[in-house]
Structure 1
Amino acid sequence: MPLEGRTAIVTGAGGGLGRQHALYLARKGARVLVNDLGQDAAMAVADEIRAAGGQALAFAGSVTDEAAVGEMVGRVLAEWGRIDILVNNAGILRDKSFGKMDLADFRLVVDVHLMGAAICCKAVWDAMRGQKYGRIVMTTSSSGLYGNFGQANYGAAKMALVGLMQTLAIEGAKYGIKVNCLAPTAYTRMMEGILPQEQLDTLDPALVSPALLPLVVEDAPTRAILCAGAGHFARAYVTLTEGTFVGGGEDAGERLMMAWDAVSSSTHQIVPEYGFTQAEREVASAWRHAANRT
């Protein structure tokens, strides 16, 4: 029971991947609040957990509703006294090629995935800071990391969650808050029609949920992007190449084109500790170039 004594909130947990997440965390000892838009769906999963001997609460509400999310967090604190784990799983799809996409659908997807996660993180942040402990998991996607046709809205929201993770992990470090991303591939209603059925059958959502464990235990990493599907697990990284100094001048663009291979080379690439690493390396390169000229 590696999560015994811990409390968790899983959003969008009334079915599909979220349901599997909630059941898995409960089996590992966590007390789980099951969130979903529908009360019946949330209650059914909470009942499953209780029937298996676990502790669970059900809460119906949208992650985009700040008042509802605040009430949800308050209920967990009133019932269990702390919040250790937040799994931001709630999401929707509105797939279309960008040329045919209505901007209202773009806003809706960004609102649910990005703003919903931000609202939930904000709601638990003070409690986690106060107890000097917290584990937050964002649900990103290969659509955000690498792109997928017809998912401009979804991909933009999912990559934005990586950026949210990066900064919250830095700001939460001194309070014992660790923030990571999970990029799942699972057969849910959101995946129907995207892949052939024989491939979908291998993507059981239950095979993804074990990826949560290393991200939410006491010695979890922080700022990890973990990809999971069909029992396979891999890490994704946002890297920075070593690059090369080109300088300025009227022909800087042309010289950059000539140096493109050197700028793009993955040899000596790094995973930056923070965003300002880029500026530090650029200034250092310029200084080295100036020193060499003198």
Structure 2
Amino acid sequence: MATDVQPATSGGRNSISSVTEVKERLGQFRYLADEGLATAAYLALGLERPLLLEGENGVGKTEIAKALSGLLGRELIRLQCYEGIDTSQALYDWHYGRQLLAVRGAGDGGAENVFTRDYLLTRPLLDALEKGDRAVLLIDEIDRADDEFEAFLLELLSDFAVTIPEVGRIEAFSRPLVVLTSNRTRDLHNALRRRCLYYWVEHPDTEREFQILRLRAPEVPEPLAREVAAAVRRVRGLGLGNPPGVGESIDWANALHMLGVSTLSPETAAATLSALVKDVDDQRVVRDRIADVLPTAP
């Protein structure tokens, strides 16, 4: 059972005793996790394994890492992946300006060694290795990186150590909590998946979306929040190219409230689509199907 696993903590400072506690404490940081996600996060802590989260854009994968860092009282270190990212952006680089000044300052009296730890610029991965269980490392949108970087990352996550030729081996004395996210724009290698615990993050159902709106947009009246949650659920069912995420749902509710809207109508829904749907073709689809989105529409 999950409750038999005792998560690793920083000297007992961040002890988590159960899946229920993870779920409740995530709620304190304004993240409503379902049972499956709370269990995956709990096990990632207890087993000291990276947590791979996949799902569509806007389902809240990045927010999970932010909430976990708050829950655990750890620093959030974020590595945003992109095509062409390499170790100089992700792991370390050299402070060339300082190196040049040191070489010039040495003059003819002998060259100073400028490839030491003092001249190293720490990037997110190395920073997380050195901070260990004082950190939550978020590797965001790993699917945007290329195969070579994924292979490098696989090696690093296997040992939580790296060798810098000029400095030597740097190994984490304790492991950070690692959260990887993927929008599944490409398939990740099975070798990386096997290193991780895995969870597919779904869009919330209507009731949970309503609860999220009450938590993240508390000034929005409850009846309007319920209407927004139900309408967003229907919008996502229209087969859009870019269905709205939870963030857009919150934006839409806030926009409607700002305009003094107390109940949704076809006119107000169509007029405020800029807050909910961020693609012109998708907006046309929603406007054409407004009767499906709002059952009360004539």
* TM-score, length of structure 1 as denominator length: 0.30
Q: Which has the higher contact order (CA 8 A, sep 6+)?
A: 2
TM-score, structure 2 normalization: 0.30
Q: Which has the larger radius of gyration?
A: 2
